[in-house]
Amino acid sequence: MYKACNMVSIITFQSAREGTGKSTIIANVAALLAATGRRVGVIDADLSTGNLHYLFGLRTTAISHTFNDYLLGMCSALHVACDVTPHLQLLQAHMPVSSESGRVFLLPASSNPRDFRRFLRQDYSIELITDGLLELAQQLELDVLLIDTQSGLKDELLLTLLSMAISDTLTIILRLDHGDYQGTGVLLDVGQTLGIPKVRLVVNQTASMIDPAQARTQVEQTYHCPVLAVFPHAEELAILGSADLFVCCYPAHPLTEHFHSMALALLSSVSRPSAGDHAY
């Protein structure tokens, strides 16, 4: 387990299979953490899809440097970081507590498949993750760093394991689907082997007939691991199709309340409380 003494809380998100909702949850929770005044970094370390930037309203043509470029030694991490806070203005107008100091810095991945193939062919220095991201967190004065990773342990195995190894918390997203069950158990084992201080589960896309409290208990008993949140399937989110932040578009929707609860649960799990945290 590699973790330097640092004030930033690093949370890596993983799932056994694709499409569980990692990017959606990360982006919306990041926005809500910023709305509490936190300085939040978000890294799109899922280089195979490279689509997190769409959720923050960032067009591919507006991106000059990507996380792929950083790993290939073509630029500094600071060059990749885009301040996407202006995209959250709509959200701040609806928040009971909004703070000037809250910011979201996104390090987008390239959505060009050629860049992903190139990444797979070339080596990169491990220190770019182990030391480089901690340095970035210091430069940007981050409170929280959220890392989106490729689902499962596949092509980007080293990048995923390194991201986990520098994390304070591994958050595994799963659906109530047999296809997710075994892989989730494997990820929990990996988290334990790496000595990650905290491992948390999030259940997403539950059917409307499922009782969330029952689902939470069942999953916690099955995996012996705390569940941070249970998100029901929401048609509005499915229709939005990763084109924007749900919490900005639907501030009064019940699902937005779930995102608020998850942001608070993450904060109380990893970090020091702040004056506005009780205000949701």
Ligand X SMILES: Nc1ncnc2c1ncn2[C@@H]1O[C@H](COP(=O)(O)OP(=O)(O)OP(=O)(O)O)[C@@H](O)[C@H]1O
Decide which of ligand X, Mg ion, none touches 79; Cβ closer than 5 to 8 Å per partner kind: none
Q: Which of residues 89-128 bind ligand X (CB under 6 A)?
A: none
Tokens 């195995």 label which residue?
157
9 near Mg ion, rule: CB under 5 A: no
Among 4, 7, 18, 141, binds ligand X (CB under 6 A): 18
Q: Which of 277, 268, 39, 28 has the alpha carbon at shortest distance from 143? A: 39
Report if residue 250 touches ligand X, rule: CB under 6 A.
no
Cβ(80)–Cβ(108) under 8 Å? yes
For 162-194, the three-class secondary structure string (H helix, E strand, C coil) is HHHHCCCEEEEEECCCHHHHHHHHHHHHHHHHC
Segment interacting with ligand X, rule: CB under 6 A, options 72-80, 97-105, 127-135, 237-245: 237-245
CB of 233 to ligand X, least distance (A): 4
169-174 vs 227-232, strand pairing mode = unpaired
Say whether 71 sits in a helix, a strand or coil.
helix
Q: Which is nearer to ligand X, 4 or 238 (CB)?
A: 238
Question: Given candidates 70, 223, 231, 250, which one binds ligand X under the rule CB under 6 A?
Answer: 231
Q: Say if residues 14 and 156 touch (Cβ distance below 8 Å).
A: no
204 touches ligand X by CB under 6 A: yes
The residue ranges that bind ligand X (CB under 6 A) are 15, 18-24, 46, 49, 151, 204-205, 231, 233-234, 237-238, 240-242
The residues of the shown chain that bind Mg ion, judged by CB under 5 A, are 22-23
